[in-house]
A = this chain, B = another copy of it.
Amino acid sequence: MTGRLQEEKVFKDPVHRYVHVRDKLIWDLIGTREFQRLRRIRQLGTCYMTFHGAEHSRFNHSLGVYEVMRRIVNNFEGRIHFTDEERLLCLSAALLHDIGHGPFSHSFEKVFHTDHEAWTQQLIRGDTQINSVLRKVSPDFPDYVAQIIGKTYKNKLITSLISSQFDADRMDYLLRDTYYTGTNYGSYDIERILRVMRPYNNMVVIKHTGMHAVEDYIVARYQMYWQVYFHPVTRSAEVILQKIFQRVKFLYRHGYAFARKPDHFLTLFDQSISLDEYLALDESVVLFYMSEWCKEKDDILRDLCDRFINRRLFVYIEHDDRIKDAAWKQGIEELFRKAGIDPDYYLVEDSPSDLPYDIYGVSEENGEKTPIYLLMPSGNLEELSLCSPIVEAISGKRRFDHKLYFPLDLLEDGTRESEVMNKIKHMLRI
């Protein structure tokens, strides 16, 4: 066992006021290089290009998730018994749930087919500082933490505190992303939610008196998705980022002579990347390479990097049946090619269903997110959307939100054949 700190330590936190650390285990985990690396990965990827305040890191958020978990565990005292190991398991899993994230994680995963949850587990089980700190609790402890992340741990209640409708992760990020973006959309009364959460068999349910507080929380999520997480400007930056990664991979495979060779990414291309090589990837590395590639002679790579670094983003059209029309799509791509603009890189369809966020009731198919139950005075459970018309309205409805992104400036720079340009503009109705 790792014991208590002699004196409680705190981190001043804008969202939870203070993050309280009393366990030596937690203090030591925060000090590991794998955890410190999260300072160099932003919580919201490219969102800072839309909301300039959103520059906070996953380090910042991870401390918050830990603090929320600490409060949940405290509140459950008297209702359920956690052993000291179980308590530490909850706290460690909360703190470490994001350590496997790569730089600009969403685009990164999409292009390189990595999986941050798998990496989180590997980092916990592998030859890392985190592993050796966790191992001090007990030899099996790292594995238990990894199982929670992988949702295979025997105690489903603990797993649900990390991954469910009321997990510590979401409870923190709504408030934190609201705070840093400066919007009000994600705020909800966390203290009331904490007060009405009840352990119930293998899951967390909500005391019926908290119904409206939960509605508020669900609506907060809904608003954050549409106002912040799925913001089309943020997605435009993601689209460019993906195309950069795609281009680098393509150029490398076709033997292009880089002025700045993508050394840090090579093992990623053939999926032979080691744990240490993965850890070496962070957003300062990605930004460094992109700055360098602004000087490459490959037109596409150079242009895309310049767009990302200097925030010259794509525009989009939306709400449009054309986007789903294959013939129309083929036609516009043809015209782009005629104009000398490669549609593989400059005409990009994007949909938030590709995004790693789900709204209440939407992502049930993969089985991992459970519905929310209210604990009624009778002792029975009732599913929230049956009681709340407002949740029912949001629940499970997939919004059609395909957008087609392209660089308006290229179409308007006057260097291309005007007849083709006119046809393109006509088709895009711009």
Contacts of A330 in B (CB 8 A): none
Stretch from A137-145, A240-248, A283-291, A348-356 at the B interface: A283-291
Tell yes or no: A236 within 8 A of B by CB.
no
Tell yes or no: A227 within 8 A of B by CB.
yes
Per the 8 Å Cβ criterion, residues 209-240 of A in contact with B are 212, 215-216, 219, 222-223, 226-227
Question: How many copies of this protein are present in the complex?
Answer: 4
Chain B residue nearest to A288 (CB atoms) is B288
Do A185 and B283 touch across chains, with their CB atoms under 8 A apart? Answer: no
State how many residues of chain A have any CB contact under 8 Å with chain B. Answer: 61
Q: Choose from B57, B181, B309 the contact partner of A36 (Cβ within 8 Å).
A: B309
Q: Choose from B14, B36, B389 the contact partner of A180 (Cβ within 8 Å).
A: B14
Contacts of A191 in B (CB 8 A): 17-18
In the assembled complex, the Cα of A40 lies from the Cα of B286 at a distance in Å of 12
Q: Mark A300-317, 1 if CB is under 8 A from B, else 0.
A: 000000000111100000
Tell me how far the C-beta of A178 lies from the nearest C-beta in chain B, rounded to whole angstroms.
9
Chain B residue nearest to A52 (CB atoms) is B60
Tell yes or no: A334 within 8 A of B by CB.
no
Tell yes or no: A80 within 8 A of B by CB.
no
Q: Choose from B12, B51, B310 the contact partner of A181 (Cβ within 8 Å).
A: B12
In the assembled complex, the Cα of A56 lies from the Cα of B287 at a distance in Å of 17
Stretch from A89-97, A320-328, A390-398 at the B interface: A390-398
Do A12 and B212 touch across chains, with their CB atoms under 8 A apart? Answer: no
- Of residues A15, A182, A282, A283, which shows the largest number of chain B Cβ atoms within 10 Å of its Cβ? A182
Q: Mark A187-227, 1 if CB is under 8 A from B, else 0.
A: 11101000100000000000000001001100100110011
Contacts of A36 in B (CB 8 A): 309-311
Given A216-B185, A291-B284: A222 in contact with B390 (beta carbons within 8 A): yes
Do B195 and A10 touch across chains, with their CB atoms under 8 A apart? Answer: yes
Given A181-B12, A182-B14, A309-B36: A390 in contact with B284 (beta carbons within 8 A): no
Tell yes or no: A39 within 8 A of B by CB.
yes
Given contact pairs A12-B183, A18-B195, a sample of 15 additional A-B residue pairs in the complex whose CB atoms are under 8 Å apart: A10-B195, A13-B182, A14-B182, A17-B191, A33-B310, A40-B287, A53-B56, A185-B212, A187-B187, A212-B223, A216-B223, A283-B284, A284-B285, A284-B287, A393-B394
7 contacts between A and B (CB under 8 A): A11-B52, A39-B52, A40-B287, A52-B57, A53-B60, A184-B187, A392-B393
